[in-house]
Structure 1
Amino acid sequence: MFEPKDHTLPFGRRQRGPASSQVEERDNRDYWTVWIRWPGTSGPQEYKALVDTGAQCTLMPSNYTGAEPICISGVTGGSQQLTVLEAKVSLNGNEWQKHPIVTGPEALCILGIDYLRRGYFKDPKGYQWAFGIAALETEEIKQLSTLPGLSKDPSVVGLLRVEEQQVPIATTTVHQRQYHSNRDSLIPIHKLIRRLESQGVISKTHSPFNSPIWPVRKSNGEWRLTVDYRGLNEVTPPLSAAGWKHSPTICHGLIQTALEQGEAPEHLQYIDDIIVWGNAAEAVFEKGKKIVQILLKAGFAIKQSKVKGPAQEIQFLGIK
């Protein structure tokens, strides 16, 4: 995506009326050719307009008058009394869109963000410009959440093809009473247990051991099933210190290994949060697709609700 910096044009530097060979472009700001077909006219009028993402409205000088008055203030402190008139606008002289134009004899010649956010354009130099989310919608960009293999089941669990780990047996029987649970959690937790059982993740058993479950409500309203194994861990022989770390580090390492073996494209990873980037939405989609395919092949399960983008703004590790 290419996007210009915000600019504001002082009233003393306007381009009056139609475009001509005398238009001064002494700076690096972008001027586009704009055709306006005013109401009641047969032919379009051509302008050279400053592309200004900081302008909230599009202004064009003319002698036409709209029914709605408006006061426009400039950066120098002055103001102008103009009117709003709906006219047909085109950036190529062929395709036309109706759009409200702020106009008057002394109006500036500015293509504002109100028109630019309609979608995606090419400037006279051939560069592509995209402004706002509307650009993504206009291009109908493929979303990563539509990839095959993603799961809609919030309790889905994967099965990695890694070496099975043996945990030493506890030296003492530990039977802890179940904690008092919130009534709101009982039904969703029972449903979650049944889904995990149907996937073969857990199974019914008769055992003198018991560790209490601890339902945790997530920010999206769903429930996470956790078990308090602290009592059991106290009577379980410790594992070898060499190579063993806490669970987030193990999770990070397993995902990292799969991505490295699959020759994943450039990305950033923190435990199970992964982000890719690029200069175009299609490039981001292809990178994300490759990473999803690598993880699915390795045996990871990926929730569809967790896969986002491509987008111009995302949230990663809680930060936009």
Structure 2
Amino acid sequence: MNTPHAYIGRFAPSPTGPLHFGSLVCALGSYLDAVAHGGHWLVRMEDLDPPREEPGAADRILKSLEAHALHWHGPLEWQSRRHALYEGTLAELAARQLIYPCRCSRSQIRLHGGHDNATCRTQVEALGPSALDPQSPCALRLVCAGGEEHFHDIWRGAQCQRIGEDTILKRRDGLYAYQLAVVVDDIDQRVSHVVRGADLLDTTGAQRRLFRLLGATPPQFGHLPLVLGPGGHQKLSKQNHAPAIDDRRAAENLCTALEFLGFHTPVELAGERPEPILKWAAARWQRHQVDMRDRQLH
């Protein structure tokens, strides 16, 4: 079991493109919540999906964080260097019969309106030892479907999420799944608070279930409002070609991000360097002041 510890937060970007304004809002919110509570703020690069990564994006993200004085308080971690940790966790779960191979295709899952946990497990049992044939690509799923996860979100209050499907922990292509890596890393780094965008709220229940199956107390979660892209229908994202933030305008970017989060900055603050802006913001950070509206940047 993990033991109680001080506030440790983190920001975990994926190097699929440069930092954009929506990412800056999340980074700033998680940083300020940690610093305002006397905690540490870590950065972890979620570079688990090479086919989706953009060359040089990781370096650009780190340089943008530094340009905005968002300095992390511990070693920079790279998920691509932590495979042994993930494999060890899978071995532990396998020994407890908590994972099983799944060969269901996306078309089969779509046809059935979702993954059929019971049928899939029955097919695996019928195959016997051949179910683990390394020549036959399969995903590894966690036995977790059924029941509900209840938790209190820092900003969104009481939440109840039903676990309707066994979570994929390793993909058919052999890559470790986000749901496995993020939980294993948070446990290993003793993360106590996860402050991130509201687009990840729906993943929280399944992650909490895995935390508990691994004998760990889940961190406290808080989901910030989303910056929406043109048209106001989707979040601003790398997939929607969100423009990179201009590191030369770091002070202006920070003030704009603070305004988006609901903190009204004095006009003269925009002429300061990033460090005084962050110091001003950390001294005034109050969770109840965060503007929870998902909206476009104007």
Tell whether the structures are fold-level matches, with TM greater than 0.5.
no
TM-score by length of 2: 0.21
TM-score by length of 1: 0.20
Greater relative CO (CA pairs within 8 A, separation 6+): 2
More helix as a share of residues:
2
